[in-house]
Amino acid sequence: MRCFKPPRKFVPYEVDKTSNFKYELCRIMRPDDANIVGHVHGGNILKMIEEAGCIISTRHCNTQNEDRCLAALVRVEKTEFLAPLFIGEVAHATAEITFTSQHSLEVQVKVIGEDIITGSKKLVNKAVLWYVPCSQLNVDKIMKVPPIKFTTEQEEEGRQRYETQKTARLKTKEMIEDVTPPPPNPEKHTVGFSQSSLIHLVGPSDCTLHDYVHGGVTMKLMDEVAGIVAARHCNTNIVTASVHAINFHRKINKGCVVTVTGRLTFTSNKSMEIEVVVDACSLVNEEKVSYRAVSAFFTFISLDKFRRAQIVPPLQVSGEEEQRRYDEGQARYLFNKAKRVAEREAEQ
Amino acid sequence: MRCFKPPRKFVPYEVDKTSNFKYELCRIMRPDDANIVGHVHGGNILKMIEEAGCIISTRHCNTQNEDRCLAALVRVEKTEFLAPLFIGEVAHATAEITFTSQHSLEVQVKVIGEDIITGSKKLVNKAVLWYVPCSQLNVDKIMKVPPIKFTTEQEEEGRQRYETQKTARLKTKEMIEDVTPPPPNPEKHTVGFSQSSLIHLVGPSDCTLHDYVHGGVTMKLMDEVAGIVAARHCNTNIVTASVHAINFHRKINKGCVVTVTGRLTFTSNKSMEIEVVVDACSLVNEEKVSYRAVSAFFTFISLDKFRRAQIVPPLQVSGEEEQRRYDEGQARYLFNKAKRVAEREAEQ
Amino acid sequence: MRCFKPPRKFVPYEVDKTSNFKYELCRIMRPDDANIVGHVHGGNILKMIEEAGCIISTRHCNTQNEDRCLAALVRVEKTEFLAPLFIGEVAHATAEITFTSQHSLEVQVKVIGEDIITGSKKLVNKAVLWYVPCSQLNVDKIMKVPPIKFTTEQEEEGRQRYETQKTARLKTKEMIEDVTPPPPNPEKHTVGFSQSSLIHLVGPSDCTLHDYVHGGVTMKLMDEVAGIVAARHCNTNIVTASVHAINFHRKINKGCVVTVTGRLTFTSNKSMEIEVVVDACSLVNEEKVSYRAVSAFFTFISLDKFRRAQIVPPLQVSGEEEQRRYDEGQARYLFNKAKRVAEREAEQ
């Protein structure tokens, strides 16, 4: 085996002269990535986004001279699925570091779908992720992030995003509630009717070198449960439309069983909001304390056979709790709708 | 666990000159096939057994001149795991057709584990499976099985096994009960404490060319849930010891969601019996009728760090139903114990 | 869903101004990609190489205005594994079109391994692949390849490589022999002792949109069998050192059973050559004719615990046939050795 000096052109961060901190992952979408009508599951796209983010963050955080470290996902900002991906198309996920604080870094990932037969391309997703570097020797030790020099304007905007997400994360942490599942309800279109749980025993391929579950693996499971809840509610071809900010409260390690539970909180005319919580529990520790590892809201839409969004049956809520969650879901829905309108006007 | 003297030769169809109907599958066991201490999950072995059985049955049933057909698994006889398999070992599953009736065929599969580093071999499992050929044009049409000539004695013994399994299948069909899950119970070692369910959306790789779920895929999911129930009950390294006869009542097709539920029925001093039921439900059909597709009993044992079977915490039952299932489990346990003793004596 | 005009910088072939025909795939190596000591299987690297080659070729061949087409792999030139890849490292496969004839194109793929913890990089593999474009409407119709303008020198060298491989492919086609497996031999270090077969039922995720098996999937299976043969022969940690040119004689389609058989042909002091043949057979077709789809020679080396190549037990051959194959293997070995020496001298 011969030693090798890598040719200049292979170093990915020399590819684009405008940024030193870019990374691209790509792969062909296969039948197993998609549902029966050929739509790639949103969860697979989230998983790919996280893999790209994890690689670029880990690489950057190891450019310092202290402990070797691995970047752990702590938050994904609200993200929308802008176009569907299909089997046989190639997905390109390009990650770029866009801000660094002392102990965290922001990564923006764009996913482009390419039809290699026709050559056409489309923007599938744009996501913003936050990572913190954990020492390889002691996973609870958060390392310092080597600072990156941005323009004053970029720096200023980044700091604002940083403060906003920090506040949001603290707020969510307080809000974590103990989810006692509603009794199953045989009546259609109620919360209890479509609520679903899956359990998954964490295996080696789900984990990083630290033996902690990749954030992307967890997001894929969450999307899977949310999709089943949505399909049970409306019995049609459903697709992920967007994911509200996801916070990763605690790590999940190898050998855990994770229980992923989804329940409908709100339906608008053409969308469904599903709350998904992930609880983890070690199988081998005697104490066996289950803890809330992640929680998030997924929005799904229902498609007819021409792939147009169609009317969703209204959710039947009952009881104070279900009503409260419905109202909160409606508030999020109206807020996002107003925001989209504002953005569209700003673009024009 | 018994030791095993490996047969002299591994070459597939030259193995046995007396039979033209043999088949061998083999593959290396990977990290994802095993639990965190390296034991290959019993479910993966069952899946491999079924794949070998499906190939040999499908091939044989297509030697006639009518519709092309695919063999569907309808029953697996009680099977025991005789030795553990580990990551890096090669599993060989050899399938042989041992009886044909007009519309079904019996396949016997042996699994040999080979340590390719030391060359040592061990018998891991011996299973008996029953298949029926379904027409590729109309999956509900059962085709005729081309008859195979056996010796009079083989024919006689095979017919007896055929009649026995037929009776057992009919009996089980009558017994299918509606499993209302017990309320979750926070108290340790109760049935409600360890009961677990998983849901799985059937994907293309789970299916045959007919778009029906492979029996082996279903068995793997069942073993997964049973393992989680067992681990929740005793918080140790647990392994599949045996599977009571499994009957496949109905087919599961692509696009279904399957709900696999496991609950403890009985514990002996060193074993746990878990009842596992599989319910399938189409996500896209408006009627949304959930039906019982499969049910079976799995027996697990708990291992200490030297891989010796250890004492299992006794199951706390409450209520008439739990007591009835406990008594039935105990009856199965005592019956099998007596049978094993009788076999051992017969061998001597 | 909003429409989207892709940003200029995402178009991969604008990345490097020196070539318009480049493509890069990358992903993290996971536990399932590797053997028990953490070495990534050569077969996974071959699979990744082929995926990159397939994407770039398919994309290029669809820049014409006739039938849409998919590129099918017909040949991989001799390729060497220059450095090992480990779990947790990122593999980058960069593909580039380097020659086009009327009906075929040559793609060169380089694989770089990157340790994202230390930042170090190494060249893992360099491969040359040949593809032909098949019409999507009629898979037996070979389409024209849109010509690429190279410099006169590049054009000249490419044409020579094209003629050489064409001759080699025709020659191999003539040489396809019926492999009657040797009788299994209980004696160590004979050909019959280590010979192995594996059987795989082709599933949807193994296939392209055409429902034909990806060349990379087949190569991965071939590497797996060759690895089992090598490990049986020397009972140590073995790794793929190189692959002699692989010719894909015929396509394998969905629903086939493939039988992959490997046997030792030759051992040098520190290497083993394994011949691997792939036979495919439809499970449901009446005729049930098994045909030879691929054949190749893999070279493996045996590593001690410090990952240094170690002495291999000499192969015991018996009979004329085994001796002939041994002599042919030795000729290939000596030829390659002489070639390497010449190349090293040329480099200095």
Q: What is the CATH number of the domain that holds B277?
A: 3.10.129.10
Percent of chain A with pLDDT over 70: 89
**What average pLDDT does this structure show over B150-156?**
92
Alpha-carbon distance B305 to nearest alpha carbon in chain A (angstroms): 12
Q: Do A51 and C28 touch (CB under 8 A)?
A: yes
| Other residues' Cβ atoms within 10 Å of the Cβ of residue A110 | 20
Distances, alpha carbon C210 to alpha carbons A12, B211, C213, in Å: 33, 18, 9
One domain, residues A249 and A330: yes
pLDDT of A180:
62
pLDDT of residue B128 exceeding 60: yes
One domain, residues A102 and A221: no
Alpha helices in B42-97 (DSSP H): 42-61
Tens-place pLDDT, residues A276-285: 999 998 876 6
| Other residues' Cβ atoms within 10 Å of the Cβ of residue A140 | 7
For residue C82, tell me if it sits in a domain.
Answer: yes
Mean pLDDT, all residues of chain B: 85
pLDDT of residue B247 exceeding 80: yes
Q: Which of B31, B235, B237 is facing A286, going by the closest CB pair?
A: B235
pLDDT of residue B286 exceeding 70: no
Per-residue DSSP letter, C28: E
Tens-place pLDDT, residues B26-60: 788 888 888 878 889 999 999 999 989 998 898 88
**3-class secondary-structure state, position B263:** strand
pLDDT of A76:
95
One domain, residues C224 and C118: no
Nearest CA in chain A to C240: A1
Task: Output the six-digit token pair for B278.
Answer: 């599989």
Between A302 and C177, the more confident residue is: A302
Domain-terminating residue out of A169, A203, A234: A169
One domain, residues A127 and A243: no
pLDDT band at B8 (very low <50, low <70, confident <90, very high): very low
One domain, residues B41 and B144: yes
Please pick, among B33, B206, B223, B279, the residue that the annotation labels catalytic: B223
For residue B6, tell me if it sits in a domain.
Answer: no
Pairing state between β B90-100 and B105-114: antiparallel
One domain, residues C109 and C221: no
Q: Looking at beta carbons, which residues of chain A come within 8 Å of C136? A: 117
Residue C334's contacts (CB-CB under 8 Å, 6 or more residues apart) are: none
Q: Do C235 and B119 touch (CB under 8 A)?
A: yes
One domain, residues B238 and B307: yes
Between A207 and B152, the more confident residue is: B152
One domain, residues A142 and A282: no
For residue A239, tell me if it sits in a domain.
Answer: yes
Tens-place pLDDT, residues A303-329: 988 889 999 999 999 999 999 999 999
Mean pLDDT, all residues of chain C: 85
Mean pLDDT, all residues of chain A: 85
Angle at C212 between CA A49 and CA A40, to 5 degrees: 25
Widest Cα–Cα separation across chain A: 70
Q: Is C1 on the interface with A (CB under 8 A)?
A: yes
How far apart are alpha carbons C313 and C269 in whole angstroms? 8
How far apart are alpha carbons B258 and A230 in whole angstroms? 15
One domain, residues B139 and B196: no
Domain-terminating residue out of A169, A202, A223: A169
How far apart are alpha carbons B72 and A81 in whole angstroms? 39
**What average pLDDT does this structure show over B223-240?**
91
**What average pLDDT does this structure show over C280-309?**
84
**What average pLDDT does this structure show over C266-282?**
93
**3-class secondary-structure state, position B14:** helix
Q: What are phi and psi of A21, to 5 degrees?
A: -130, 55
Residues 52-71, chain B: which have Cβ within 8 Å of C?
A: 54-55, 58-59, 62-63, 65, 68-70
pLDDT of B287:
57
Our count of domains for chain A comes to: 2
pLDDT of C10:
33
For residue A327, tell me if it sits in a domain.
Answer: yes
Alpha-carbon distance B142 to nearest alpha carbon in chain C (angstroms): 16
How far apart are alpha carbons A298 and A277 in whole angstroms? 11
pLDDT band at C119 (very low <50, low <70, confident <90, very high): confident
- In the residue annotation, C223 being an active-site residue is answered as yes
Distances, alpha carbon B54 to alpha carbons B97, B107, C309, in Å: 11, 9, 42
Pairing state between β C121-135 and B22-28: unpaired
Task: Output the six-digit token pair for C36.
Answer: 């028990």
**What average pLDDT does this structure show over A252-274?**
92
For residue C181, tell me if it sits in a domain.
Answer: no
**3-class secondary-structure state, position C234:** helix
Nearest CA in chain B to A224: B201
One domain, residues B226 and B264: yes
For residue A195, tell me if it sits in a domain.
Answer: yes
Task: Output the six-digit token pair for C332.
Answer: 């290939």
- In the residue annotation, C253 being an active-site residue is answered as no
Tens-place pLDDT, residues A181-202: 666 677 889 999 999 888 888 8
One domain, residues B128 and B213: no
H or E stretch including C306? none
Q: Is C84 on the interface with A (CB under 8 A)?
A: yes
Across A102-106, B115-119, C73-77, C154-158, least confident range: B115-119
**What average pLDDT does this structure show over B243-270?**
90
Q: Which domain holds residue A304?
A: 191-347
Catalytic annotation, residues of A: 35, 223
Alpha-carbon distance C164 to nearest alpha carbon in chain B (angstroms): 36
How far apart are alpha carbons C76 and C45 in whole angstroms? 13
Between A243 and B180, the more confident residue is: A243
Tens-place pLDDT, residues A5-50: 333 333 333 333 334 467 788 888 888 888 878 889 999 999 999 9
Q: Is C289 on the interface with B (CB under 8 A)?
A: no
Q: Looking at beta carbons, which residues of chain B come within 8 Å of C205? A: 204-205
One domain, residues A164 and A195: no
pLDDT band at B343 (very low <50, low <70, confident <90, very high): confident
Distances, alpha carbon A322 to alpha carbons A196, A319, A327, in Å: 16, 6, 9
Between B162 and A178, the more confident residue is: B162
Q: Looking at beta carbons, which residues of chain A come within 8 Å of B284? A: 231, 235-237
For residue B177, tell me if it sits in a domain.
Answer: no
End-to-end Cα separation, chain A, in angstroms = 59
Residues 235-254, chain C: which have Cβ within 8 Å of B?
A: 235-236, 254
Q: Which amino acid is located at B136 in the chain?
A: Q
For residue C186, tell me if it sits in a domain.
Answer: no
Q: Do A204 and B228 touch (CB under 8 A)?
A: no
pLDDT of C144:
92
Domain-terminating residue out of A169, A202, A232: A169
pLDDT of A207:
82
Chains with 3+ CB–CB pairs under 8 A to A are: B, C
